[in-house]
Amino acid sequence: MTSRQFADAVFEDHVGLRGRQWEQELPDVDTRGMAVLGRARWITLAARPAIEAVFARHGLDTGEFDVLSTLLRAGAPYRLRPTELYRSLMISSGGLTDRLSRLEKAGLIERVAAEKDGRSLPVQLTGEGRARAEAAFREDMAIEARLLDALTEEEQSRLAQLLSKLAGSLAAAPQN
């Protein structure tokens, strides 16, 4: 720490320990990729239980919530085509069909005939689906904000900015 700027100080965490183990075992490998992507993955996994608990209180799992929230934030009439949904959610078309079946059976969405394209069977939130999605989303955002409490507002903002730059570059890349 003495020869480092404070801004570069890396805090003790699970991925940091991993990095030191690799340094011992394979000192010639550059693990900077892991320092970012490995931590992003670890944080995602670690935050999961708290967030899933929110959805479970509303009778949803993460995948189902993802569908409902995508429809909700699309704005009235809260309707999207399955293709838009599975691309946005980064899942397979088959996986989406299953989620939609569950949500339809639960009365949270309904399938409405497309106006123009007969191949398409758009999906739309029901009133209950809209209410459920909004309630779960509000609680989710409250929990997620709490998970970031240890960071100052400035750190959160800087972190979001750096992540958005990385995300932008990943989206732009051919297919990495």
Sites for DNA among residues 64-123 (CB under 7 A) = 81-84, 91-102, 111, 116-122
b/e 94-117 (16+ beta carbons within 10 angstroms → b): eebeebbeebeeeebbeeeeeeee
The stretch near a copy of itself (CB under 8 A) out of 1-9, 95-103, 105-113, 117-125 is 1-9
d(CA 43, CA 30): 21
**Neighbouring C-beta atoms of residue 174, cutoff 10 Å:** 4
The sheet that has 123-125: what strands, in order across it? 79-80, 123-125, 109-111
Under DSSP, the state recorded for 8 is G
CB of residue 38 vs DNA: minimum separation in angstroms? 17
The stretch near a copy of itself (CB under 8 A) out of 98-106, 107-115, 121-129, 147-155 is 147-155
Apex CA 86: angle with CA 115 and CA 68, to 5°? Answer: 80
Residue 81 partner contact from a copy of itself, DNA, none using kind-dependent CB cut-offs of 5 to 8 Å:
DNA
| 2 binds a copy of itself, rule: CB under 8 A | no
Residue 95 partner contact from a copy of itself, DNA, none using kind-dependent CB cut-offs of 5 to 8 Å:
DNA
Of 35 and 51, the one with the shorter C-beta distance to DNA is 51
d(CA 133, CA 141): 12
The stretch near a copy of itself (CB under 8 A) out of 97-105, 106-114, 117-125, 130-138 is 130-138
| 56 binds a copy of itself, rule: CB under 8 A | no
Which amino acid, 103?
Answer: L
d(CA 170, CA 176): 7
Residue 93 partner contact from DNA, a copy of itself, none using kind-dependent CB cut-offs of 5 to 8 Å:
DNA
Residues 73-102 that bind a copy of itself (CB under 8 A): 73-75, 88, 90
Using CB under 7 A as the criterion, which residues of the chain lie in contact with DNA when the complex forms? Answer: 61-63, 81-84, 91-102, 111, 116-122
